[in-house]
Amino acid sequence: MDRLLVLVRHGQSDWNLKNLFTGWKDPDLTEKGIAEAKAAGQRLKALGLGFDVAFTSALTRAQHTCSLLLGELGQSDLQTIREQALNERDYGDLSGLNKDDARARWGEEQVHVWRRSYDVPPPGGESLKDTVARVLPYYCQEILPRVLRGERVVVAAHGNSLRALVMVLDRLTPDTIPTMELETGVPLVYKLNADSTVSSKQVLSA
């Protein structure tokens, strides 16, 4: 039994390129992001991996990444579950703002706190702690049981929603998780034990 769980952050989006806070806003992938998503599928295919079900968020950039990745695996018709609980962290009033403009408005230190603290939300938005509280119940109820049954699962989502899962899988703390970066389009391949702990992890970097 594989108990395979693969996490993939979406490829570069148009707003990543423009250095904007994105959150629940819905830009699509850039040409580079499309290439990253396809390359992720190719690297998974090179390992001989395929999937029984896919999960993605309610946002276009993650859905497009998922579709492109599955296309490279010859699994375009795979059951794909779209779920708002897997959305990116909501940046509230920062959404759509250039990060440099935000620093000019609120100050470098304040913006750094909003971006890198665990439990301080930006105005009108979510902290990473809030995002974890949204993502983890869905993972425990809907994703993990399928993995433990032996289904091979891929999750294409976002930097912060996937941080919530990595925090649990890698046993990171509120102090260490905010500084952990997830590269766009790079699959994290986990194999789990029967008790849901990690037996192995592989990062499929370019």
**What are 156's two structure tokens?**
């294409």
Question: CA Rg, the chain, in Å?
Answer: 16
Look at residues 127, 206, 187 and name the one whose alpha carbon lies nearest to residue 160.
127
CA separation (Å) from 83 to 29, 30, 157, 196?
19, 23, 10, 22
Say whether 88 is catalytic: yes
In a 10 Å sphere around its CB, with 0-12 CB exposed, 13-18 middle and 19+ buried, how is residue 31 labelled? exposed
Type of residue numbered 39:
A
Distance between CA atoms of residues 180 and 176, nearest Å:
7
| Contact call for residues 6 and 38 (beta carbons, < 8 A) | no
Catalytic position from the list 36, 64, 88, 126: 88
User: Which of the following is catalytic: 10, 36, 64, 158?
Assistant: 10
DSSP per-residue letters across 153-178: EEEEE-HHHHHHHHHHHTT--TTTGG
Give the catalytic positions in this structure: 10, 88
